[in-house]
Amino acid sequence: MTKDQIFEFFRRLAEDNPSPETELEYGNAYQLVVAVALSAQATDVGVNKATRALFREVETPEQMLSLGEDGLKEHIKTIGLFNSKAKNVIALSQLLVDEYDSKVPDTREDLVRLPGVGRKTANVVLNCWFGQETFAVDTHIFRVGNRTGLAKGKTPEQVEAKLEKRVPQPFRLGAHHWLILHGRYVCKARTPECWRCAVVDLCSYRKKVLEKPGRGNTKTGPG
């Protein structure tokens, strides 16, 4: 994509959704860290179902430590990998209490010190809570970046670096939200819904699905 095409790409996504937000539910920075850590290899919908009752009971690292690992497991047992996630959440809560005065740090370097918090999770927290222009590359953004030609890369880190370089103002703060939502609801993994895509003409994907399947005459772009 050219610079002008990239600007238009985000302009259209922004026009459709001027104030994009994460779909995870949280009330403070600590709950956001926990929710994002729990969301690895899980859906936001599934995480929200598990955390609604949890977050009514737990708002601080101290309260999480009082709940304990077994108590936490009871809340999150419907989420994949809940045993290891519970262990990490208790450990990160302890570290926040011991070394950060129970406050969530505002740098990537400190955030990735927390057990269960990788670069992607740190970027989400920095963006959603601290308002920093970060690009948290999940499976949706990785797919959209490569498929559309916006930011091609063989690893999430390569895609993140391309986005960091290419995404213009005033779209940098909301960019990763627009890309996640676009990948989740339009540019889907199995069958991208190109027939209703706002940026279809800017996309370099060669096998566009230009008519909705199931009506007898699915039309695709050139192979």
Buried b (16+ CB within 10 A) or exposed e, 120-156: bbbbbbbbbbeeebbbbbbebbbbbbbbbebbebeeb
Beta-carbon contacts of 111 under 8 Å, excluding residues fewer than 6 positions away, are 33, 104, 105, 117, 121, 122, 125, 126
Q: Is the Cβ–Cβ distance between 170 and 121 less than 8 Å?
A: no
Q: Is the Cβ–Cβ distance between 168 and 10 less than 8 Å?
A: yes
Closest CA to 148 of 162, 161, 136: 162
Clarify whether 120 is annotated catalytic: yes
CA distances from 184 to 137, 142, 167, 178, 220 (A): 13, 12, 20, 10, 21
Known binding-site residue numbers: 187, 194, 197, 203
Catalytically annotated residue among 73, 120, 162, 208: 120
Catalytically annotated residue among 138, 154, 165, 207: 138
Clarify whether 98 is annotated catalytic: no
- Residue with structure tokens 């101290």? 62
Known binding-site residue numbers for [4Fe-4S] cluster: 187, 194, 197, 203
- Report, as residue numbers or ranges, the catalytic residues: 120, 138
